[in-house]
Amino acid sequence: MLRAAFLWLSEQPRIFRFVRKNRVARKLASRFVAGETVDEAITTLRDLNALSASLDLLGESVLHAEEAQRACKTYLDVLERIHRAKANANVSVKLTQMGLDIDEQLCLGNTRSIIRKAKQYDSFVRIDMEQSSYTARTLQLFTDVFYPEFGNAVGVVLQSYLRRTGADVDAMIGLGARVRLCKGAYKEPEDVAFPDKRDVDANYIACMERLLQDGNYPGIATHDVAIIDHAKAFTKQRRIPAERFEFQMLYGVRRDLQYRLRREGYNMRVYVPFGTHWYPYLMRQQVHGRPPAFGAADGQAYSVATFADDAAEAGRYGAALLFVRWGEGERPVGHLETDYLAFGSTPNEALAPVLALTLEQVKAHLDECVSRAAH
């Protein structure tokens, strides 16, 4: 198992690319996730001071109707709590979390009830954009159902890495719909997405200019300083007032810049994820080379990963947690691993329960590994 783990590690360039500059990696995962409960998320809103927020219940692609209904109920609760707290916040929702992969009617019912409640409270629902296989369906449901029924109580997201996005920007401007523009967070095939980051950035700027000029209160969602400076210069030159758009960034990322933009008079919204399904979200963040790491009982920093390999019996896979220990350099200095925590007939099936572990459960596994290693 040890050898398999090392082999696995060596095949995971992301793990080796973990950069440990400025002690960022020593910070807890809580830097990027506002906690696991609605209470913790609402408390986080109070700490954001003058910044507005969009709350996102972590989790996507649910497989059972009850899960989708539970997620929907949590969103209704969140909207109620935002309203009572008089917080300057709205919500972001993923259609797969509302049951899109299970039954479209279920998804429509759940999403409608969230938007209805948001509209009742003068709030807003942003439909997040997921992988490119969902783009056409998401935009079709938005254009044919949500927007006609709820108007600007609902908005959508477009991703500049997709080749189709220029045309989608025009369509959304034609509709008068509110758009959040981001670069895109998923791994996509070259026929649908630009493989070269320069093209993604150039397309971002082109789409952003269109939206700033003619769009309806666009959300400029990026941490890219060059693009933010471009937006500032462009709006100044065209005399587009700062109230006509907002900047958006992720909770815990470039906080200095978030407050600076607010002080300069720009609207700044922070995307605040919360919930137990934090692991896949943090894994996506690692594309940027900043691994969230746990401080363990032995005083060392560990980042967390998962792996699945052939368990002893043929045709069966086992999945475990792997804790990578970091020294002062930029390479791991060791690792600890749990026993197999779950089994399945495919690696994904084995991994599913491991990916669903809560933050507390992962910390408990780390403590157990550390104490086992000490004996």
Ligand X SMILES: Cc1cc2nc3c(=O)[nH]c(=O)nc-3n(C[C@H](O)[C@H](O)[C@H](O)COP(=O)(O)OP(=O)(O)OC[C@H]3O[C@@H](n4cnc5c(N)ncnc54)[C@H](O)[C@@H]3O)c2cc1C
Site for ligand X in 251-270 (CB under 6 A): 253
Return the number of the residue (267 or 285) whose C-beta is nearest ligand X.
285
Residues 6+ apart with CB under 8 A from 58: 33, 273, 274, 275, 276, 277, 278, 280, 281
Min CB(185)–ligand X separation in Å: 4
Min CB(229)–ligand X separation in Å: 12
Told to check if 248 binds ligand X by CB under 6 A, we report: yes
Alpha-helix residue ranges (DSSP H) falling in the chain: 2-10, 13-16, 38-47, 65-85, 104-120, 135-141, 147-150, 165-175, 197-214, 225-237, 255-263, 278-285, 347-355, 359-374
Min CB(266)–ligand X separation in Å: 14
Q: Decide if 128 is catalytic.
A: yes
Told to check if 221 binds ligand X by CB under 6 A, we report: yes
Which residue type, as a one-letter code, is found at position 164? R
Across-strand partners of 271? Answer: 54, 250
Told to check if 178 binds ligand X by CB under 6 A, we report: no
**Which candidate, 269, 267, 279, places its Cα nearest to that of 241?**
267
Return the number of the residue (290 or 363) whose C-beta is nearest ligand X.
290
Return the number of the residue (129 or 370) whose C-beta is nearest ligand X.
129
Q: Which residues of 210-247 are buried (b: 16+ CB within 10 A; e: fewer)?
A: bbbeebbebbbbbbeeebbebbbeebeeeeeeeeebbb
Residues binding ligand X: number (CB under 6 A): 21
Told to check if 185 binds ligand X by CB under 6 A, we report: yes
Told to check if 183 binds ligand X by CB under 6 A, we report: yes
Told to check if 224 binds ligand X by CB under 6 A, we report: yes
Please, what's the largest Cα pairwise distance for the chain? 68
Sole window of 282-290, 291-299, 307-315, 344-352 interacting with ligand X (rule: CB under 6 A): 282-290
Binding residue for ligand X, selected from 96, 111, 138, 222, defined by CB under 6 A: 222
Return the number of the residue (178 or 335) whose C-beta is nearest ligand X.
178
Give counts: helices (H), strands (E), the chain.
14, 13
Told to check if 290 binds ligand X by CB under 6 A, we report: yes
From residue 343, how far is each of 253, 311, 350 by CA, in Å? 36, 8, 4
CA pair distance 362, 258, nearest whole angstrom? 30
Q: Decide if 224 is catalytic.
A: no
The angle subtended at Cα 11 by Cα 7 and Cα 17, nearest 5°, is: 120
Sole window of 42-50, 58-66, 182-190, 338-346 interacting with ligand X (rule: CB under 6 A): 182-190
Q: In this structure, how many other beta carbons lie within 10 angstroms of the beta carbon of residue 329?
A: 8
Min CB(310)–ligand X separation in Å: 33
Min CB(180)–ligand X separation in Å: 6
Told to check if 129 binds ligand X by CB under 6 A, we report: yes
Min CB(105)–ligand X separation in Å: 23
- Catalytic residue, candidates 180, 210, 269, 290: 180
Q: In this structure, how many other beta carbons lie within 10 angstroms of the beta carbon of residue 6?
A: 11
Residues 6+ apart with CB under 8 A from 14: 286, 287
Binding residue for ligand X, selected from 35, 59, 99, 184, defined by CB under 6 A: 184
Binding interface with ligand X (CB under 6 A): 128-129, 157, 159, 182-186, 221-224, 248-250, 253, 271, 285, 288, 290
Give catalytic residue positions: 128, 180
